[in-house]
Amino acid sequence: MDTVISVEDLGKTYGQVVAVDDVSFEVRRGEIFGILGSNGAGKTTTVEILQGLRARTAGRVEVLGFDPGRETDRLRRHIGSQLQSAALPDRLRVVEAIRLFGRLHDEPVDVNGTLEAWELERLRNRPFGVLSGGERQRLFVALALLGDPELVLLDELTTGLDPGARRVTWDLVRRVRDRGTTVVLVTHFMDEAEVLCDRVAVMSRGRIVACDTPRALTARQGGPVTITFGAAAGHDPQSLLALPEVQSVTVDDGQVTVAGHSSAAAGVAAALAEQGVRPDDYRTHYPSLEDVFLALTGHRLSEGDAS
């Protein structure tokens, strides 16, 4: 696949403070690439460098064939962005915002077509100040995609939104990718990264500590799959240790816990059925990105990074 972003040994310091430390990664055309980390991990600084909004201290960066530090104006004709601190004047109407941002592009922007495409027609004359959080994010996505950019960078897109608005925004991000646009999504929400991203770079204290698909990360770093069910009279749970995918079996107060590899759930279920055991409370617990993050960084995502 084509590489649209290439970053090698990127560094950014502010005096004695290291914000980004020897970061390297690539983003492929057509994917949703997530940058996941706590507050202070260096996510936003990295994305601002990719756009040419902040100068790097060290390393090499290439975005769509351009060096953001030297070819900023040329690069911005090909990318769209929604920054974490994005805001508009309260009195600016939705249609006025689209017209205003449309003037920044070389080709004329179809204002009515943009309103229709992003379901903003009913909001066209609403001032920005009265829009809900979800409506604002819909507008920001529309503005980021004016001019049909090859790449769009979205920073903390769903922060402050209620669960319903977050899911609507996730659908917007999928629509962006379905249009053929490559997406870089900065987030500190585990569920968001798991649901949306094709690949995820996990950042902690200015470094990337892992980069892969969510499935591969959880399989490699998330720990074992666990299966729990109530102990059955006359059945010896320790017999499940004979299965090659099972690592351990414990019984505590009538509750059986089996730990093993990713295929253990199917193997344990089949073995129990053969032994005539069909527990009503059989449950499988798969590792999540939260488990991966804890294993890689030593702290939970919600706890934040040390400066």
pLDDT in tens, 263-295: 888 999 999 999 999 999 999 988 888 888 888
Mean pLDDT of 27-37: 95
pLDDT of residue 85: 63
Q: Decide: 187 and 35 in contact? Cβ < 8 Å.
A: yes
C-alpha span between 99 and 92 (Å, rounded): 11
Percentage of the chain exceeding pLDDT 90: 60
pTM reported for the whole predicted model: 0.78
Determine the pLDDT at residue 202. 93
Average pLDDT taken over every residue of the chain: 90
The average pLDDT across 227-244 equals 94
- CA–CA dist 44, 51 (Å, integer): 11
Please tell me the predicted confidence (pLDDT) of residue 164. Answer: 83
pLDDT at res. 304? 61
224-286 sits in which CATH class?
alpha beta
Question: Given the structure tokens 């922007």, which residue do they identify?
Answer: 109
Q: Percent helix, strand and coil across the chain, each rounded to 5?
A: 35, 30, 35
The residue whose two tokens read 């769009």 is 152
With cut-offs at 50, 70 and 90, classify the pLDDT of residue 307: very low
Which residues are CB-neighbours of 280 under 8 A, at least 6 positions away? 230
- CATH code of domain 3-219: 3.40.50.300
Name the token pair of 209: 């500590």
Over 70: is that where the pLDDT of 203 sits? Answer: yes
- How much is the pLDDT for 53? 92
Q: Tell me if residue 200 falls in helix, strand or coil.
A: strand
State mean pLDDT over 26-44: 93
Q: Between 50 and 166, whose confidence is greater? A: 50
pLDDT tens digit string along 92-130? 999 999 999 988 887 888 999 999 988 899 999 999 999
Question: What phi, psi does 36 have (nearest 5°)?
Answer: -110, 135
Average pLDDT of 17-21? 95
Residue labelled with tokens 């005539």: 276
User: Where does the pLDDT of residue 144 fall: very low under 50, low under 70, confident under 90, or very high at 90 and above?
Assistant: confident
- Asked if residues 218 and 291 have their Cβ atoms less than 8 Å apart, the reply is yes
Domain boundary assignment for the chain: 3-219, 224-286
